[in-house]
Amino acid sequence: MKKKDVLSVKNLSKIYTKNNSTPVNALNNLNLDVKQGEIFGLLGPNGAGKSTFINILGGIVIKSRGTVNVWGYDIDKDPRQVRASLGIVPQEVNLDPFFNPRKLLELHAGMYGVKRKDQITDEILRLVSLESNADSYARSLSGGMKRRLLIAKALVHKPPILILDEPTAGVDVELRKNLWENVKLLNKIGVTIILTTHYLIEAEQMCDRIGILNNGNLVALDTTKNLINKIQTKIVTFTTSGNKKIDNIPLKSLKILSQGENKITVSYEKNNIKIDEIITHLSNKNINILDISTADGNIEDVYTNLTKN
């Protein structure tokens, strides 16, 4: 069965207009769908339009053009249902430092009209691994804990879709790992995840599909697997039996990256050369190859290629 689209965006544009300043085209004719149960990542450099997109979903920014449908509801016709379907974790940490996590979640649930008996405060605290901090002042929590508390806040009304805007910005490596584990756990219990990040490696590890945004334009949209397959650059290291060096290998796109200690490392573009051609060339130069190891470039290459201009 085809999974249903839980978010459908068509021709979405945003132009910020301020008096006395030139208009900013923050989103340009954006089209994308997110499917139920997936982890979707929106990648892009600073200023790409990621937060604008998320803030439109959250009703904080008003779109200039296009349609947005969330969980079957149109954002113009049913803004309340859209709001009820989404939990949004904003980029900026804004927590009242004088409340403890439990109190904060209860207040927030109240704001969403969740009745006391329907509140799942302890369950949420457990989900984000804050159960032992439930009664500490928010101001005494570490940066990572505050981030997790923001996620908890976004979950009080049990939204089927959770959106995180750069959740790991400014969070150290260890806590980041922990944060992602929590997000994965939420996904496992059925929550669809949409996140933005500029940590490519994380998007690669976390997301089923990735969209790449640059200057308000969606420059790529594919499964993480397909994006990685599109990576053209291969890096190969040959282990050789002697220390014989070569001047150059006259094959299109081939670069010698390093030589020495019985090793020759080269890079080349997959669509220009087959590895056999390199091996033939080395053999013709009387270089005896003992072992070959290859590595793909990473998604960073795709990203750099797509966003450079």
Residues 51, 91: Cα–Cα separation, whole Å: 8
Query: Taking contact as CB under 5 A, which single stretch among the options 44-52, 66-74, 76-84, 140-148 is the one that binds Mg ion?
Result: 44-52
Q: Cβ of residue 215: shortest distance to Mg ion, in angstroms? A: 14
Tell me if 51 contacts Mg ion by CB under 5 A: yes
Fill in the amino acid letter for 145.
Answer: M
Determine the 3-state secondary structure of 41 from DSSP.
Answer: strand
Site string for Mg ion, 71-110 (x = CB under 5 A): --------------------x-------------------
Which CB sits closer to ligand ADP, 44 or 211? 44
Partner from ligand ADP, Mg ion, none binding residue 197, C-beta < 5-8 Å depending on class: none
Partner from Mg ion, ligand ADP, none binding residue 46, C-beta < 5-8 Å depending on class: ligand ADP
Residues 22, 167: Cα–Cα separation, whole Å: 30
Query: Taking contact as CB under 5 A, which single stretch among the options 45-53, 94-102, 211-219, 280-288 is the one that binds Mg ion?
Result: 45-53
Q: Cβ of residue 273: shortest distance to ligand ADP, in angstroms? A: 37
Residues 183, 95: Cα–Cα separation, whole Å: 20
Q: Cβ of residue 51: shortest distance to Mg ion, in angstroms? A: 3
234 sits in which H/E element? strand 233-240
The tokens for 111 are: 């704001």
Which CB sits closer to ligand ADP, 49 or 159? 49
Q: Cβ of residue 195: shortest distance to Mg ion, in angstroms? A: 12
Residues 47, 233: Cα–Cα separation, whole Å: 28
Which CB sits closer to Mg ion, 43 or 152? 43
Distances (CA, A) of 2 to 36, 37, 113: 10, 12, 33
Which CB sits closer to Mg ion, 51 or 133? 51
Strand order in the sheet with 192-197: 86-89, 161-165, 192-197, 39-43, 209-214, 217-223
Distances (CA, A) of 131 to 139, 170, 271: 16, 23, 53
Q: Cβ of residue 213: shortest distance to ligand ADP, in angstroms? A: 7
Binding site for ligand ADP (CB under 6 A): 16, 18, 24, 26, 44, 46-52
Q: Cβ of residue 124: shortest distance to Mg ion, in angstroms? A: 25
Give buried/exposed letters for 150-174 (b at 16+ CB in 10 A, else e): bbbbbbbbebbbbbbbbbbeebeee
Which CB sits closer to Mg ion, 50 or 209? 50
Which CB sits closer to ligand ADP, 55 or 100? 55
Determine the 3-state secondary structure of 124 from DSSP.
Answer: helix
